[in-house]
Amino acid sequence: MRLQTEQDEEPEINLTSLIDVVFLLLIFFMVSATFERQALLRVELPEAATSERESLPDRVELVITETGDYFVGDNMLADERRDTLRLALSQAFADRPEALLVIRADARAEHGLVVRAMDAASAEGITRLTIATVEEDGADS
């Protein structure tokens, strides 16, 4: 004889720990993923008839995009102010003061952005500076 009636409880699946694991995996892959920066930095260099091809062993590259963004090495600067650029150049040249600064400005970048970069370099005491160009297609050699 049964005195108590048993109620059948439906089993519940607790998803809290599963969601935690999925979020941890998502964060791990976001942090550890590497992105190809070269694909993002498409810079069309201006042409020059007298461009020289030279091996530059110790250099710091400053890239100026068409939209006015500055990149020192692989790091994009937060804004285009002169003080921000000076600080980035100061940090880049802190451990190698004799390095060469190579300015790679897009051909369609505003002239003022290049002048601001040269001014910031001068203010930091950087004396070795060059502007990257490509050789003209119809240059007379």
The stretch 102-112 carries a mean pLDDT of 88
Contact of 130 with 51, CB cutoff 8 Å: no
Contact of 68 with 113, CB cutoff 8 Å: yes
Confidence of residue 41 (pLDDT cuts 50, 70, 90): low
* Residue in the structure block whose two tokens are 């400005």: 105
Is the model more confident about 10 or about 103? Answer: 103
The stretch 13-30 carries a mean pLDDT of 89
Contact of 109 with 140, CB cutoff 8 Å: no
Q: Where are the domains of the chain?
A: 38-135
Q: What's the CATH number of domain 38-135, 1.10.287.1040, 3.90.550.10, 3.30.70.260, 3.30.420.270? A: 3.30.420.270
- Would the pLDDT of 4 be above 70? no
Contact of 91 with 97, CB cutoff 8 Å: no
The stretch 43-52 carries a mean pLDDT of 62
Confidence of residue 133 (pLDDT cuts 50, 70, 90): confident
